[in-house]
Structure 1
Amino acid sequence: MPGLNILFNYEKQWFADDAKAALSVTAVALPVAIAYAQLTGVNAVVGLYSCVLPMIIYALFGTSKQLIVGPDAATCAVIAAVVTPLAAGDSVKHWQLVITMTAMTGFWCVIASRFKLGVLADFLSKPILMGLLNGVAITIIVSQFSKIFGFTFDEKYLLERLGGVPAYISQAHVPTLLMALFTVSVYFVMKRLKPTFPASMFAIALGAISVWFFNLGQFDVKTIGIVDGGLPLFQAPEFNVGIIRELVMPALNLAIVSFVSMMLTARSFAAKNSYDIDADKEFMALGMANFASALSQGFAVSGADSRTAVNDANGGKTQLVSIMAAIIIAIIAIFLTAPLEYIPSAALGVVLIIASVHLLDLKAVWRLRLKDRQAFYLTLVTLLAVLFIGVIPGITLAVLLGLFQFIRTVMRPTDNILGVDINGTVRSLDTSDKAKAVDGIFIYRFNSPLTYFNSSFFKRRLLEQYARQKEDIDCVIIDAVPCFTHLDLSVMAMLADLDIIFRKRGVRLEIAGRKRQLLAWFAKAEIKSGIEGIYVHSDLYLALRKNQRQHNAAQKELSDETTNEQEYTNEAIIAL
């Protein structure tokens, strides 16, 4: 528990800033948690449960000092997309499926941490994650139209819903729409007058007061209804265990997306405040936070960028902010839930739309078109997949795109032909002519780890580049550092074939770098080394020096032979 070290060495002067930040985080977290509970399809108090224990657990297990965990728009949208069809309208079953999926997400995170898979933070590239979050944001915005206008969508998918919007708007419930407009007005007025105040909380609170004071229920203005507070009671799932199979892959997708999103937030604030975070421990922290949420009957959580930003802006120094905010939310969830029943659904819809708008960054997507066309296409495909085929298939496609992008890079990497500049430094040969090829030596670098699925490409590229050389080549040297990273018998067999090919052409095949590893691998693969096979040097400069000495010696021997022949010819002429 890395957080314990900070808490045990806590400095008194930090407390004032942490207390102020905790109050601000609570003010932002309360309305968002209730709104995300509605998005997930569970009771409002579940959103509060999803804040308390996860925030405390992350404070103990996490390595970020500013990160606040809690309900997240993308996470809740994923859960709702998976669980709603399986629950088939049964609210109890829906809640239990949400809890089960949350626990499974925590399980995947802990397993990933155990196998040190924190590198998955870099697995989903920024363009893919950008497309995913924009797609989820648009999906949430459209889904909340029903709460704002007072109707219910009959369609399941986004395109069908968009197609039916004109007909639905004609059925709009005027009092509900007026409540939504009132909430929007309060929100933006508060943002204008007091930018640092929690505008969402004020907007929802005034909406609830209006419902209670003016008895707006008589006008069919829907509210979230009775909220049963108190301590959460653990319930064992009562649905068919076979349904769990339907949750395995979605939970894995959710774990990856939640972790990548959380790490983007955690790393940005860690860099801003000049400290480092441990990706593997963050995976463990996220897993334990999700276990805690499931144990307290809550839903999956992730890093909350908006609440983290509020924490940092108010000077939060340590994770004591999370603990204090969690205690305040726990008191509300246990003792003060009665006023929550007056919160209008339209106000929650407005809060969700505002939160989703902050996720939208379509300008950044369009700018990618000029910066990196390939990244732009990846973002666009992911965005359209989420919109057209759904959140879960879109996330699956995003993960596959990230995998295929990596495989494509590894399978077909760049390569270089190397030479030496006037200072004796090895560098790539290019149009600048700063480096020149070494006489009689061809130096090749392959910019990717060699493995079974790119060894044939390596062989083809090496022979192609060798064939383009106009001068006679006595020796081919392969730079081993970037490409020979692990033992692969397919790669060893390919090297043996190359050695035979070059020997038939009277060319030596040599490898520079990783000498100890390569000799051990050659022994396992039964490949000869040294004079009888492939010679392995400690590094590229030693290989060049040895070959240049041999080349110079050969040139000197040839020069001596030429001189001797010339002297013999001169003597013969004199004798004649």
Structure 2
Amino acid sequence: MRLKLFSGLRPLDLRGSGRDALAGVVLASMNVPQVLGYTSIAAMPVVTGLYTVLLPLIAFAIFGSSRHLVVAADSATAAIFSGALTPMAPAGSEKYVALVAMLALLTAGLLLVARIFKLGFLASFLARTVLTGFLTGVGFQVGIAMLGGMLGIDTPSHRTLQQVGDLFENGWQFDLQTFGLSLLVVSAILLGHRFAPRFPVALVAVLGAIAVSAKLHFEARGIAVIGEVPGGLPSIKWPEASLQEIIALLPTAASCFVMIIAQSAATSKVYAIRYRETLDEDADVLGLSVANAAAAISGAFVVNGSPTQTAMADSSGARSQVAQLVFAGLVLAVLLFFTGPLQYLPRCVLASIVFTIAVGMVDVKGLRSILRESKGEFYLAVFTAAAVVFIGVEDGILMAIVLSLIRHVKHSYKPHTQMLAPDQTGRWAPTPAVPGSQTAPGLIVYRFGADLFYANEERFVNEVRALVERAPSKVQWFIVDAEAITDLDYSAGQSIRSLLEDLRHQGTQVWFARVSSYLRSDMDRHGVAAILGEAGIFERLHEAIAATGEGRKESVEEM
């Protein structure tokens, strides 16, 4: 495994580095409040949010290849593990923090395995439609989880429906001052996103809330604050957990792994295409692995290639990982010199910041776009979102994967099939393969739109038989346009051999055209080529049609 270090920084130039350094300052001003807020979702101590943008950020800048991807705390992965780990240990406890660190290490291990065996293609199994629904569901779940903190109401449950019940049951705890402050922060941030997207409204809200809280003693007035935040560098230590706990954490680590692979790969590709840059996906997977290992040993939690934070970096003018390194340097300064004032930060302010992030995750525009183009995929996205809200994030991501695979198999099981048939002018044109029609007297040209395998072989065989049996005249030649068929498995091979022999006994010659080298290899291996013979396999469709007789030459040339 050859390492290419600092790919996301090279080539360096003085002007570009200065621009990226300034972008890093802007990025830090917008993102520090966010990573502090993510600790509310992760149920971790507030300072660990800063840890996620220190060593992990530096690790990815060294080992990754993307010049744009920001690897840090992420709401989706935080929601995945917090729901799974809180039953194992009290939120924020020493044991919980240790389990979270071990989870990050396990996730790093899975990412390393993915890099060694080049399993980055697994990201493709989470369809964009399903991912949109999943993130929308996470947005609803996180938003509801933050309502308690914004209203001053305890919501000890970790399931969304139970949290809604807690809001009603403990409604007597509602605090008007807390709610008023939350409403002010949410309104300011949402308006800032609308009218001044590059202005660090969240940072101003945090700094203003800290100053007013310290001056007016918010804690004494009944507004909860986060309390003392330890300063200095994070302690470097190996996470500890029993074998039984490690086994229990593996499914959650797998869920985080899938989300990291899917989100990071999609985000990296978007910006690589936008700026016409070369992307090494294997290097990015390695960078994500090292970043999560760095998070594990520094007391942080799982990190991910964040789409929202990467978009923030891009809008700030960042064009290389120099910006992320400057961001990490500023976080280091905060840890060393400025954690003291954080103790006055009202908890409702952090909850409000996370609530606005959750609102942004509810992708109404994306769902509308899906609905316009495909109602079936829209229902799939909505179902995934509902599963996250009603079942849970970890189960939701597993369901998202299953639904994506089912969708893929469904398309492969029931692909589009066509045949050439005369149109109103008499010219041959592609039409749906409907029994009772033919291309020309004695000829059917048929196209199957997917690879042939055990799940769709019966559909192929039955449709071919129906087309032959119900043709207007006896079919002498049946040509399969195999352009879309690149693979033929054992089961399909046996069925096609039987079909070819049966049709030959009926006096119908079956030929395959546009046969790729991959399909030809499978045909040879499964005995299909031996039955067809060399005369029955063609590289081009027009050659096969021309071979059926000179009388068709004119029609072939018109195609």
Q: Same fold (TM over 0.5)?
A: yes
- Structure-2 separation of matches of 1:455 and 1:371: 29
- Structure-2 separation of matches of 1:529 and 1:212: 86
Give the letter for the 1:504 counterpart.
H
2:210 maps to 1:205: no
2:267, 2:305 within 8 Å by CA — same for their partners in 1?
Answer: yes
Equivalent residue, structure 2, for 1:538? 539
- Structure-2 separation of matches of 1:276 and 1:424: 49
| Structure 1 residues 422 and 391, CA gap change in structure 2 (3 angstroms) | same
2:306 maps to 1:304: yes
Equivalent residue, structure 1, for 2:389? 387
Q: CA offset at residue 470 of structure 1?
A: 0.9
CA deviations on 1:450-496 (whole Å, 9 max, x unpaired) are 1122212211122122233212211212223312x235221221121
Q: CA offset at residue 448 of structure 1?
A: 0.7
- Structure-2 separation of matches of 1:464 and 1:281: 51
Q: How does 1:511-530 map to 2 (within 5 A)?
A: 511-514=512-515, 517=518, 520-527=521-528, 529=530
Equivalent residue, structure 2, for 1:481? 483
- Structure-2 separation of matches of 1:449 and 1:107: 34
- Structure-1 separation of matches of 2:191 and 2:530: 78
Give the letter for the 1:214 counterpart.
L
Equivalent residue, structure 2, for 1:227? 229
Q: CA offset at residue 213 of structure 1?
A: 1.8
| Structure 1 residues 116 and 479, CA gap change in structure 2 (3 angstroms) | farther
Q: CA offset at residue 507 of structure 1?
A: 1.1
- Structure-2 separation of matches of 1:523 and 1:227: 69
Equivalent residue, structure 1, for 2:32? 30
- More deviation, 441-450/62-71: 62-71
Q: CA offset at residue 266 of structure 1?
A: 2.6
- Structure-2 separation of matches of 1:192 and 1:402: 34
- Structure-2 separation of matches of 1:293 and 1:425: 65
2:418, 2:432 within 8 Å by CA — same for their partners in 1?
Answer: no
CA deviations on 1:350-406 (whole Å, 9 max, x unpaired) are 100011111113354355434311011101111111111111111111111001101
- Structure-2 separation of matches of 1:417 and 1:190: 57
1:51, 1:329 within 8 Å by CA — same for their partners in 2?
Answer: yes
- Structure-1 separation of matches of 2:268 and 2:470: 50
Q: TM-score, normalising length from structure 2?
A: 0.89
| Structure 1 residues 278 and 426, CA gap change in structure 2 (3 angstroms) | farther
| Structure 1 residues 182 and 210, CA gap change in structure 2 (3 angstroms) | farther
In terms of Rg, which structure is larger?
Answer: 1
Equivalent residue, structure 2, for 1:571? none
- More deviation, 348-357/103-112: 103-112
Give the letter for the 1:254 counterpart.
C
- Structure-2 separation of matches of 1:455 and 1:188: 54
Count residues in correspondence.
Answer: 548
- Give identity over the alignment, percent: 26
2:170 maps to 1:168: yes
- Secondary structure of the residue that 2:444 maps to in structure 1? strand
- Secondary structure of the residue that 2:56 maps to in structure 1? helix
| Structure 1 residues 449 and 189, CA gap change in structure 2 (3 angstroms) | closer
- Structure-1 separation of matches of 2:516 and 2:65: 39
| Structure 1 residues 429 and 142, CA gap change in structure 2 (3 angstroms) | closer
| Aligned pair partner of 2:12 in 10, 13, 29 | 10
Q: How does 1:18-167 map to 2 (within 5 A)?
A: 18-88=20-90, 91-167=93-169
- Structure-2 separation of matches of 1:425 and 1:293: 65
- Secondary structure of the residue that 2:36 maps to in structure 1? helix
| Structure 1 residues 270 and 109, CA gap change in structure 2 (3 angstroms) | same
Q: How does 1:394-413 map to 2 (within 5 A)?
A: 394-413=396-415
Equivalent residue, structure 2, for 1:560? none
- Secondary structure of the residue that 2:52 maps to in structure 1? helix
- Secondary structure of the residue that 1:416 maps to in structure 2? strand
Give the letter for the 1:307 counterpart.
Q
- More deviation, 229-238/420-429: 420-429
- Structure-2 separation of matches of 1:319 and 1:189: 30
Q: CA offset at residue 25 of structure 1?
A: 0.8
Where in structure 1 are there 5+ consecutive unaligned residues?
553-576
Q: CA offset at residue 71 of structure 1?
A: 0.9
| Aligned pair partner of 2:348 in 326, 346, 349 | 346
1:187, 1:202 within 8 Å by CA — same for their partners in 2?
Answer: no
Q: CA offset at residue 76 of structure 1?
A: 1.0
Give the letter for the 1:23 counterpart.
V
Q: CA offset at residue 441 of structure 1?
A: 2.3
Q: TM-score, normalising length from structure 1?
A: 0.87
- Secondary structure of the residue that 1:529 maps to in structure 2? helix
Q: CA offset at residue 449 of structure 1?
A: 0.9
Equivalent residue, structure 2, for 1:256? 258
| Structure 1 residues 520 and 31, CA gap change in structure 2 (3 angstroms) | closer
- Secondary structure of the residue that 2:537 maps to in structure 1? strand
| Aligned pair partner of 1:457 in 456, 459, 471 | 459
Q: CA offset at residue 272 of structure 1?
A: 2.9
1:529, 1:535 within 8 Å by CA — same for their partners in 2?
Answer: no
- Secondary structure of the residue that 1:144 maps to in structure 2? helix
- Structure-1 separation of matches of 2:509 and 2:29: 72
- Structure-2 separation of matches of 1:500 and 1:336: 81
Equivalent residue, structure 1, for 2:556? none
1:184, 1:203 within 8 Å by CA — same for their partners in 2?
Answer: no
| Structure 1 residues 54 and 513, CA gap change in structure 2 (3 angstroms) | same
Equivalent residue, structure 2, for 1:557? none
- Structure-1 separation of matches of 2:456 and 2:403: 19
Equivalent residue, structure 2, for 1:547? 548
- Structure-1 separation of matches of 2:225 and 2:214: 10
- More deviation, 175-184/514-523: 514-523
Give the letter for the 1:150 counterpart.
G
1:21, 1:310 within 8 Å by CA — same for their partners in 2?
Answer: no
User: RMSD over aligned Cα, in angstroms?
Assistant: 3.0
- Secondary structure of the residue that 1:510 maps to in structure 2? strand
| Structure 1 residues 259 and 526, CA gap change in structure 2 (3 angstroms) | closer
- Structure-1 separation of matches of 2:154 and 2:215: 27
Give the letter for the 2:548 counterpart.
N
- Secondary structure of the residue that 1:284 maps to in structure 2? helix
Q: CA offset at residue 334 of structure 1?
A: 3.4
| Structure 1 residues 522 and 312, CA gap change in structure 2 (3 angstroms) | closer
Q: CA offset at residue 520 of structure 1?
A: 4.5
- More deviation, 95-104/486-495: 486-495
| Structure 1 residues 520 and 236, CA gap change in structure 2 (3 angstroms) | closer
- Secondary structure of the residue that 1:356 maps to in structure 2? helix
| Structure 1 residues 242 and 500, CA gap change in structure 2 (3 angstroms) | same
1:109, 1:287 within 8 Å by CA — same for their partners in 2?
Answer: yes
Where in structure 2 are there 5+ consecutive unaligned residues?
554-559
- Structure-1 separation of matches of 2:549 and 2:4: 55
CA deviations on 1:296-341 (whole Å, 9 max, x unpaired) are 2211112223332232222222111111111211222234322222
Give the letter for the 2:235 counterpart.
L
| Structure 1 residues 330 and 180, CA gap change in structure 2 (3 angstroms) | same
